[in-house]
């Protein structure tokens, strides 16, 4: 059975980059760019990746929605927004990574994060 990952990202480039990294890590991405689309994607996902820098949705509320459905959450955002990163962790994200980390080695980083939950 393929692992399904709900991806919430407003930015098309990051949505595509995250989806490709999820596929390269051996999972199936379910893309969303709004809260409503994300709720639908969560219906069949055990994992979620949420882009913290968006205006079309509240990323902190999205983290809470995902964790309330027992999905593990990886958040991604600006490396220098320490306050938002702390708030994302407080709301239930397992990890908050900088864009650069996922840009440089997204598939390996996502695969390692996914594997941590299966051991």
> Domain limits at 15?
4-116
105 pLDDT more than 90: no
52 pLDDT more than 80: yes
Complete DSSP assignment for 5-25: EEEE-SSHHHHHHHHHHHHHT
What's the rounded mean pLDDT across residues 4-29? 95
Q: What is the pTM of this model?
A: 0.94
Q: Could you tell me the CATH number of the domain that includes residue 85?
A: 3.40.50.2300
What's the rounded mean pLDDT across residues 35-52? 95
In the chain, how many domains are there?
A: 1
9 pLDDT more than 70: yes
Query: Which pair of tokens denotes residue 43?
Result: 């219906």
């Amino acid at each position: 059975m393929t692992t399904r990952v709900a991806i919430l990202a407003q930015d098309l480039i990051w949505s595509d980059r995250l989806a490709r990294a999820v596929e390269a890590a051996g999972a199936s991405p379910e893309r969303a760019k709004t809260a409503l689309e994300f709720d639908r994607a969560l219906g069949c996902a055990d994992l979620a990746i949420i882009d913290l820098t968006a205006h079309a949705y509240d990323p902190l509320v999205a983290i809470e929605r995902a964790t309330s459905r027992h999905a593990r959450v990886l958040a991604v955002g600006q490396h220098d927004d320490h306050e938002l990163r702390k708030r994302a962790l407080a709301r239930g994200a397992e990890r908050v990574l900088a864009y650069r980390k996922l840009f440089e080695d997204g598939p390996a980083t996502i695969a390692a994060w996914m594997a941590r939950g299966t051991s």
